């Protein structure tokens, strides 16, 4: 099965829920996000990897077109998303480490980070954590106390922001699939209608 055809069959927006027993690094508006994405006719699956075997986790990701997740080890499963898939990493205030972005890009996916706009610019804005003021997120990253506190904060992504990210992610994915499906530049007389698959018809039905 070609990479393009495998990718076309992956049509789910997968949302990662961390079963931590509290709000640490979770999406606070998860139910509203799920409801809004489904109302936009998107196929949505919310998963937690905590009790799943490795094979089960890989199987879920093989059906994923867009992976929406707060920062955490679950993003390592990015490697199993089909080509052209999109990873949306949701960062809490003060936490901007993007090594999962490197994993996404190096494995043929797109990376779409989200930073809470209430926190100001992720590099040039001051950040207050535990009654201390840091001149920038970079300074926070250099402090173990600040970095740890920021990393464990809940993610304040709301349903409107999530829908906008999902739309942008699906647009990026469609463009990528279109590029991969472009037929070879052979003479018109030698081309056949079954020699390649154009995924844009499927993509055009998405918001």
Instruction: Give the CATH number, domain containing residue 176.
Output: 3.40.50.2300
55: containing domain: 3-180
Whether 106 maps to a domain, the answer reads yes
Q: What is the pLDDT of residues 126-158, one digit of tens each?
A: 555 555 665 555 566 666 666 655 556 667 889
| pLDDT tens string 70-89 | 888 889 999 999 999 999 99
Torsions phi, psi for 134 (to 5 deg): -105, 140
> Looking at residue 22, what is its pLDDT?
52
pLDDT in tens, 3-56: 777 777 778 999 998 765 555 667 888 999 999 999 999 999 999 998 899 999
Q: Is residue 199 part of a domain?
A: no
pLDDT: which is higher, 90 or 115:
90
27 is a domain residue: yes
The whole-number pLDDT of residue 11 equals 85
3-class secondary structure, 194: coil
Query: Is residue 31 in a domain?
Result: yes
Q: pTM for the complete prediction?
A: 0.76
What b/e readout covers 53-67, taking b as 16+ CB neighbours within 10 angstroms?
eeeebeebbbbbbbb
Confirm whether 114 is domain-assigned.
yes
Mean pLDDT across the chain: 76
Supply the pLDDT for residue 193: 41
Domain count along the chain:
1
Tokens of 99: 């090594």
Q: Is residue 197 part of a domain?
A: no
In a domain, 33, yes or no: yes
Whether 191 maps to a domain, the answer reads: no
């Amino acid at each position: 099965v070609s990479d393009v055809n495998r990718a076309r069959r992956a049509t789910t927006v997968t949302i990662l829920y961390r079963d931590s027993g509290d709000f640490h690094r979770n999406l606070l508006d998860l139910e509203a996000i799920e409801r809004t994405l489904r109302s936009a006719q998107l196929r949505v699956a919310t998963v937690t990897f905590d009790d799943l075997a490795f094979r089960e986790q890989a199987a879920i990701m093989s059906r994923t077109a867009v992976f929406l997740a707060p920062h955490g080890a679950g993003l390592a499963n990015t490697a199993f998303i089909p080509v052209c898939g999109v990873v949306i990493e949701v960062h809490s205030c003060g936490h901007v480490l993007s090594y999962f972005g490197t994993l996404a890009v190096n494995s043929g996916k797109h990376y779409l980070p989200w930073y809470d706009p209430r926190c100001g610019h992720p590099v040039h804005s001051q950040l207050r954590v535990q009654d201390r003021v840091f001149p920038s997120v970079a300074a926070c990253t250099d402090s173990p106390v600040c970095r740890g506190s920021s990393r464990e904060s809940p993610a304040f992504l709301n349903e409107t922001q999530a829908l906008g990210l999902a739309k942008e992610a699906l647009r990026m994915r469609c463009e990528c699939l279109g590029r991969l499906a472009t037929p070879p530049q052979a003479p018109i007389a030698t081309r056949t209608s079954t020699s390649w698959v154009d995924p844009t018809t499927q993509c055009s039905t998405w918001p």
